[in-house]
Structures are given as structure tokens and as C-alpha cells.
Amino acid sequence: MDSSTDDIVKEIPGVIRVYKNGRVQKLLATNVVPAGLDPSSGVQSKDVLFSSDKTLSARLYIPKSTNAVTRKLPLLIYYHGGAFIVATAASRIYHNFLNLIAAESNVVIVSVDYRTAPEHPVPTCFQDSWEAIKWVEQHVNQNGPEQWLNKYSDLGRVFFCGDSTGANIAHHMGIRIGTENRSGGIYLQGIILLHPYFWGKDRVGSEPRQHPLMRVIRDLWLFAHPDTIGLDDPLINPALDPKVADLGCSRVLVCVGEKDILKDRGWYYKMILRKNGWRGDIEILEDKGEVHTFFLFKPCSQNACNLRNRIQINHSKVQDLPSGF
């Protein structure tokens, strides 16, 4: 056997390796778990197929309270992170995180398992994510194909949420809601961006002139979207998106970490929306001393608990939260 077939032709350390023979090895968030009952929270989950060709899936979560539900619960559509390259809706870190969100916020969740690069380069993830929204909208009149959504979800109280690249997707799905000529669909109340992955060619805020992670951020984007126009592509730089003010909701919550190199992009996002004429309410919250998506890896930390508390969206539980989420 020719050992050269195992030569690495592309590697982004800690994320992915591509071999000369075409094999792809993903290195992050590879530990997956099945859906089912979470004994610690009572949250139930299951996997469903949502595309017409039965190739796309999502993981659904319902809290224990649905056992005696007297009114329908808000719906959270969640997009996982992973640089558009790694992770799935079944990754352990996301499954554990969303069990907590479903239980603590008392919401129904649709976690979208969009396809990832390099097998499915950007913009596939955005197309898949929009397909998931259209599938959810089939349940507006309570006669859709998924009974959990028909029975438990209030499609007049919908929120999009995601972390890192998933937050990027949530942002773009919010814009598409605002730009599509739609009737009889879901009502998007707000989007929640956790450590959003936005970037651009020019520095903003206190971003350093040189930092090892800057090259990684660039390489991840160029790898995930080989046909991109570059770091000022509107898909990654909302400042250059002519549709950014069309965001189809009235509230935005952005969470950033003090030690995250992407932090300033989260703060800049508020300026972008205001500068372009978006008239909704936006709040930025920063966790001191925390790195990128710390809440996935340290779920029991006080800052992670505080972050989850901020994004509770069930109105019966949020009257004291400054953001109103």
C-alpha cells in the first residue's frame, strides 16, 4: 500500500485534517449521543427528518412541563457552532446544553442538523437552515407532520439562537425572515447570538494587529466557503450586507466573552444595525474573563448559569430580566 495516500494535504489544527486520498478527519465535537429522556432534567428529545427528500434532520426537545401543559410554549430554533465544519445536533456538548435550555427556559427546541463543509461547503448550511424554518412553518395551523410541534409549540413566539457560526446562521435566518414576502408563517420575536462568528478584512474595536487566531479565523472561513469573495463577504461581515437592516424581529440579544477574539465583532454588530436603520431593541452582554463558547465546556460555572438565565424566553419567567428575553 502506498503510504502517500495518507499524507495530510490540509490541516486546521484542532478542527480538521484532509488527506491526499480524500479522507476527511474532523477533530472537534465528534462525541455524539442519542436522543431520549434526560434523567436529570426530565427533558425528552428525538430526531426527526424534515426535508422532502428525507436527508435533513433536526433534534427536538420538549421540557418536563409538557406532561401537564395548559398553554403552548415558545419555540427556540437553534443552530450549533463549529466553524461551518464540525459538530452536529447530536454532539454531546450541544445535546447537554440544549437539555439545560429546554428545562430552565421551559421552551420547545428545534436543533437543526445542517450539513457542514468540506463535504457540503457554505452556503449549504444556510440553505439547510432555511429549509428547517419552512418545515416548522408547516405546523402553524397545528396540522404539520410533527406532533410535538403541533401540540406544544407556540409559533407566534419564535426565537432563533445559535453559538459562534450558529449565531451567524441565526442572524442570516432573521434577515431572510425580514426580506421574504411571507404570509401565514411563524412570528419571529427575537434572535439570540452567543459569541457570534463575524469577521472582516479591517480591524474593529480593540482587535489586535497581529494574533495567532486571526489566521485560524481566516483559514476556517476560506476552507468552509472556497467560493467566497473573501473576509468581506456579507455572509461573514454583516457591515457589508445591504440587507442587514431588514432583520425580521424586534429584539436582539448578543452575548460575548471578554477573552474571545471575536468579542469586538459582537459589540460592532450593534453599531451596524443602528447605522443601517434597524429600529429594534438590542442588548450586548459581556462575560468577564471568559473565552469563546465557554458555556458549552463549563456548563456548571456561575457565568454559564448566568448566561442561560439571560436567554430564558418564556414570558412567565423573564419579567425581571433587563433584556426582556
Given a contact cutoff of 8 angstroms between Cβ atoms, the answer to whether 230 and 202 are in contact is: no
Regarding beta strands 44-49 and 108-113, do their DSSP bridges make them parallel or antiparallel, or are they unpaired? unpaired
CA atoms within 13 A on the CB side of 21: 9
Nearest-angstrom CA–CA distance, 157 and 251: 12
Domain with CATH 3.40.50.1820 in the chain: 38-311
* pLDDT of the residue at 54: 87
Does 164 participate in catalysis according to the annotation?
yes
* pLDDT of the residue at 67: 77
Q: Point out the catalytic residue in the list 129, 153, 164, 323.
A: 164
Regarding beta strands 16-19 and 8-12, do their DSSP bridges make them parallel or antiparallel, or are they unpaired? antiparallel
* pLDDT of the residue at 322: 37
Per the document, the length of the chain is 325
Nearest-angstrom CA–CA distance, 198 and 239: 10
Cα 296 to the chain's mean position, in Å?
Answer: 13
Hey, which residues does 10 pair with through a beta bridge? 18
Nearest-angstrom CA–CA distance, 184 and 150: 15
CA-based end-to-end distance of the chain = 59
- CA triple 89-90-92, angle to 5 deg: 115
Nearest-angstrom CA–CA distance, 35 and 45: 5
List, in order, residues 6 or more apart from 140 with CB less than 8 Å away. Answer: 155, 184, 185, 186
pTM of the predicted model, to two decimals? 0.94
CATH 3.40.50.1220 correct for 38-311:
no
Q: Point out the catalytic residue in the list 225, 260, 287, 323.
A: 260
Cell triple for 170: 441565526
Cβ neighbours, 10 Å, residue 164? 24
Does 41 participate in catalysis according to the annotation?
no
* pLDDT of the residue at 324: 46
CA distances in angstroms from 5 to 20, 177, 216, 227, 237, listed in the order given = 5, 46, 26, 26, 37
Given a contact cutoff of 8 angstroms between Cβ atoms, the answer to whether 102 and 63 are in contact is: yes
Does 202 participate in catalysis according to the annotation?
no
Q: Point out the catalytic residue in the list 91, 153, 292, 323.
A: 292
How large is the C-alpha radius of gyration of the chain? 19
Cell triple for 262: 471575536
Cβ neighbours, 10 Å, residue 241? 18
Cβ neighbours, 10 Å, residue 151? 14
Query: Mean pLDDT per segment of 10 residues, for the chain of length 325 residues?
Result: 69 94 93 97 97 94 83 96 98 98 96 98 98 96 96 96 98 96 85 98 90 92 97 97 96 97 97 96 97 97 96 54 44
* pLDDT of the residue at 321: 36
* pLDDT of the residue at 77: 98
